[in-house]
Amino acid sequence: MYLERVALRHIQMPLLAPFETSGWVETERSCIIVAVFGGGLIGWGECVAMDGPWYSYETTETAWHILRDFLVPMVLGQDIQHAEDLSAQFERVRGHPMAKAGLEIAIWDWLAKASGVSLAQALGGVRDRVDVGVSVGIQPSLANLVERVERYLIEGYRRIKIKIKPGWDVAAVQALRRAFPELRLQVDANSAYTLAHVPIFQALDEYNLLLVEQPLGADDLFDHAQLQQQLRTPICLDESIHTPDDARVALSLGSCRVINIKPGRVGGLAASRRIHDLCAAQNIPVWCGGMLETGIGRAANVALASLPNFRLPGDISASARYYAEEVIDPPFVLNPDSTLTVPRGPGIGVHVDERQLDRFTLRRMACPA
């Protein structure tokens, strides 16, 4: 397939409510939407870099630069047959996995459409529905937290993840366990702790959590291995896993018993699938994390989560969890069994509403071959 043109859009969408983690608060979601054109088809991808370097060093500004000046010129005017080949091609650019993933996912979508198969089929997915949960940010009070979680349970979510930070951890879990003793519950620290906080995690060990996500440094593997040895609860790594090699080393060290796969964090769908396969071979479950994606990125995540070793509910959630208005039609909705339906149409399988995209677009650029 000859890639004729690439278009970039920097969009900003208001969130329904502020989303607070241990390190930052988001009230709007900024990202870059990537569209690739060729053979009368359009492929869509989403670069999940944020405006600030809080989760990652990448931002919308750095990703725009890397896409415009380096990655897009590598593929424009090229005959592309397999999206898997892009990882090797993009290795000339060090780092910048979110920028790479945005373009790579768009090409996966484009090639899947050309072949007349869904993205899930192209990746090797086996499920028609994927289990999902909901992520709850840090709340003003414990009462607010319990009320917010109850609301999501009424909506139909069966797994809850809460953000924690020093001073907002054991008491928050205690409050939820008192209110919902059987709740499938996990916590996410976003690297807010050190080994000096081991007693906190030993206290959390008593509350039957599914996992503790990324408690220590964002680039650490060694200290996580020390912490995991002292806990019954599985540690799940997120920020520490940038590549399939990171996953291999983490499993060798015993740094975790679960891995959260985010395509943007690891450079795209091909790398995500390699991490999935590596973990499957060692009987390590994986799940699909979220970056407050629009429906475009959400569709790609749902397709990825249909692979067989995604054995824990993902942070994918329905569109209405975050947005009053979507850029796809129809939006993703939660099924009664706390799942999202995997789109079966060609590519990502959702219709992108370009009029809605226009409303949220801050800037755009077209790159002809």
Q: What is the pLDDT of residues 22-61, one digit of tens each?
A: 777 888 999 999 999 999 999 999 999 999 999 999 999 9
Q: Which amino acid is at 348?
A: I
Strand 235-237, strand 5-20: pairing = unpaired
**Run of H or E residues at 43:** strand 41-47
pLDDT of residue 112: 98
- When pLDDT is averaged across residues 188-204 and rounded to a whole number, the result is 97
pLDDT of residue 26: 87
Catalytic residue numbers, as ranges: 163, 262
Q: What is the pLDDT of residues 57-116, one digit of tens each?
A: 999 999 999 999 999 999 999 999 999 999 999 999 999 999 999 999 999 999 999 999
Alpha carbons 303 and 142: distance in angstroms, whole number: 35
Alpha carbons 283 and 257: distance in angstroms, whole number: 9
CA distances from 349 to 73, 300, 336 (A): 27, 9, 21
Strand partners, 130: 340
User: Is the Cβ–Cβ distance between 59 and 49 less than 8 Å?
Assistant: yes
Q: What's the mean per-residue pLDDT of the chain? A: 96
User: 186 falls in which pLDDT band (50, 70, 90)?
Assistant: very high
Least trusted range by pLDDT, from 18-22, 104-108, 240-244, 283-287: 18-22
As a whole-number percent, the residues of the chain with pLDDT over 90 amount to 95
User: Is the Cβ–Cβ distance between 265 and 241 less than 8 Å?
Assistant: yes
As a whole-number percent, the residues of the chain with pLDDT over 70 amount to 100
pLDDT greater than 90 at residue 175? yes
CA angle 219, 234, 265 (to 5 degrees): 35
Tracing tokens 């996500």 back to the chain, one arrives at 213
pLDDT of residue 367: 83
Q: Which of 19, 67, 231, 100 shows the shortest CA–CA distance to 223?
A: 231
Order the strands of the 134-136 sheet from edge to edge: 134-136, 159-163, 184-188, 212-213, 235-237, 258-261, 286-288
pLDDT of residue 205: 96
User: 18 falls in which pLDDT band (50, 70, 90)?
Assistant: confident
pLDDT of residue 369: 56
